[in-house]
Amino acid sequence: MLSIGDKTLTCKTLLEYLKSLPRDTLDTLYQHPATCLAVFRELPELSRHFIFRVLFVKRPIPQVTIAYWIPPPEPGRDVGDIAILHRQSVQVLMDMCIWHDVKDGFGNPAIKLSDTFRENFKIATLGGGKPWTMSAALESDPHHRDIEFLEKYAMDRWESVLQFLVQPKQGATAISRDAMRTLLHAGLIESDESENPNMTITSAGFQFLLLDTASQVWFFILKYLETVTERGLSLVECLTFLFKLSFSTLGKDYSMEGMDNKLLTFLQHLREFGLVYLRKRSSGRFYPTRLALNITAGENKDLIDAPKHGNLIIETNYRVYAHTTSELQIALLNIFTEIEGRFPDMIVASITRTSVRSAFQKGISAEQIISFLRQHCHPQMYKQQTVIPITVADQIRLWELERERLEITEGVLYKDFMSVHDFSLLSNFASSKGVLIYSDEKQRTMVVTKKGHPSIKQFWKEQSK
């Protein structure tokens, strides 16, 4: 799920995002086969099965009939769980405005597949209609870019955004104004609103840095889409173009023919984020990168983003070796480790209680740290029974639990009372007001809440007269 909170950073899925859109917007989106196919891939398996059952049925289907479309339970699985799954699968289709509540010929409750979704999904799966992919013919590109170039370009552009997050004050010129505007809107950085504003990373920004690349890009795009109307762009056109990009072929160039100025502006923004490569606007062609293909990859999203060239070696003694020269990765490791040594092509660091607690104070969780380590492990680590040593993972979790046992409350300390009577008088008054945090009669010491301090202070003045 991608929503920002004070403690955790999570990301909405594509379905959750589309559910939040008005029905009219969804109906307009379903006029494009690419959208229908992208949404279909994100649906639960049983929901996809329901769509195929009614794809060629134009009359309403009684809800009583649909209630019998329950798959046989797997061995050891409770029938009640299957019924719950059935209700959830139906509800998803209703929430996405793919199914509509209607009445059949006898006035009984029934379900009908959206006509717009039906026709365009049939085009996407069976063919026919107008071409819905970016298939305009192009002559051979004299400046053709291969997959290796596109991979490097995409990661360089995306890492420039991450590098800015790590060091906002030093990287203001490394990213575009549109990227900076999106980061501010997403709450990943904040400004002091002065004439020469200083950008600082927020707790959500630290958490964002430890997400996998696919989740980072999707979260960033979601926040960008929330601002497209302010930029004078069409949300439907932008989403439709993103869905088309997700079905493109890596390493193939596509024509810009027929794009209006708004769509060309959107394409330029995607170029700045690393989702497409555009040598120059007059070239008339662009290349989608893997970041664009990951946006709607359905159940295969994790496979596309699986780590292939990790460089971290984690030992059971909490020592971490990073074979890298990337300043970005070194900065990321520095969030929750202590750098002990730097060599020409390697970093030596240690995971310590102090370094991990520092990360917790920035809003980062133990699971986010463990997930980051797992994503960036050296391929050799994947040959072990557990990728991350159990001792390391368990200790990080224990340090988090250790911190969660303590509750920090701001307060004001009262001490050095002249007599036990004075102490008891003030302590009892604070207790009656419900602002007493701590009291020690032997040491004649007490602590009250910051909010209750003025009333306690006023009471003591009156008693001292």
DSSP string, 263-310: HHHHHHHHHHHTSEE-S-GGG-EEEE-HHHHTTT-GGGHHHHT--SS-
Where residue 304 falls among pLDDT bands split at 50, 70, 90? Answer: very low
pLDDT, position 206: 86
The SS3 of residue 340 is strand
pLDDT, position 79: 67
φ, ψ of residue 201 in degrees (nearest 5): -75, 145
Element (H, E) at 157: helix 147-166
Question: Rounded to two decimals, what is the model's pTM?
Answer: 0.73
Q: What is the pLDDT of residues 106-142, one digit of tens each?
A: 888 999 999 999 999 999 998 877 776 666 567 787 8
Higher pLDDT, 1 or 289: 289
Q: What is the pLDDT of residues 315-344, one digit of tens each?
A: 999 999 999 888 888 888 998 999 999 998
Domains parsed from the chain with CATH numbers = 33-126 (1.10.10), 147-301 (no CATH), 312-404 (no CATH), 411-464 (3.30.70.2610)
pLDDT, position 406: 62
Q: How far apart are CA 392 and CA 97, in angstroms?
A: 47
| Lowest mean pLDDT across 134-148, 347-361, 422-436 | 134-148
Nearest to 26 by CA among 99, 110, 86: 99
- What is the pLDDT averaged over residues 249-274? 89
Q: What is the pLDDT of residues 437-458, one digit of tens each?
A: 889 888 889 999 988 898 988 8
- What is the pLDDT averaged over residues 421-439? 89
Give the count of beta carbons closer than 10 Å to the beta carbon of residue 157.
Answer: 22
- What is the pLDDT averaged over residues 245-251? 87
Whole-number percent of the chain with pLDDT over 90: 34
pLDDT, position 305: 44
Q: What's the whole-number average pLDDT of the chain?
A: 84
| Lowest mean pLDDT across 58-72, 111-125, 205-219, 293-307 | 293-307
pLDDT, position 11: 66
Where residue 3 falls among pLDDT bands split at 50, 70, 90? Answer: very low
Q: How far apart are CA 374 and CA 389, in angstroms?
A: 10
- What is the pLDDT averaged over residues 16-37? 91
Sign of torsion over alpha carbons 272, 275, 281, 287:
positive
Higher pLDDT, 212 or 48: 48
Give the distance, in angstroms, between the CA of residue 209 and the centroid of all CA atoms in the same chain.
Answer: 10
| Lowest mean pLDDT across 43-57, 185-199, 290-304 | 290-304
Higher pLDDT, 173 or 248: 248
391 contact partners, CB below 8 Å, separation of at least 6: 316
Nearest to 429 by CA among 465, 461, 460: 460
- What is the pLDDT averaged over residues 244-262? 87
| Lowest mean pLDDT across 24-33, 91-100, 325-334 | 325-334
CB 40 within 8 A of CB 140: no
Q: What is the pLDDT of residues 367-383, one digit of tens each?
A: 889 988 988 898 888 88
- What is the pLDDT averaged over residues 234-244? 91
Q: How far apart are CA 111 and CA 100, in angstroms?
A: 6
CB 210 within 8 A of CB 359: no
pLDDT, position 461: 85
pLDDT, position 238: 92
CB 407 within 8 A of CB 447: no
Element (H, E) at 333: helix 327-336
Where residue 176 falls among pLDDT bands split at 50, 70, 90? Answer: confident
| Lowest mean pLDDT across 45-49, 191-195, 392-396 | 191-195
Residue 306 pLDDT exceeds 60: no
pLDDT, position 9: 65
Residue 159 pLDDT exceeds 90: no
pLDDT, position 405: 67
CB 186 within 8 A of CB 203: no
- What is the pLDDT averaged over residues 377-406? 86
pLDDT, position 317: 93
Where residue 77 falls among pLDDT bands split at 50, 70, 90? Answer: low
pLDDT, position 267: 92
Element (H, E) at 205: helix 203-209
Please report how many Cα atoms fall inside a 13 Å half-sphere around the Cα of residue 50, on the Cβ side: 30
Residue 47 pLDDT exceeds 90: yes
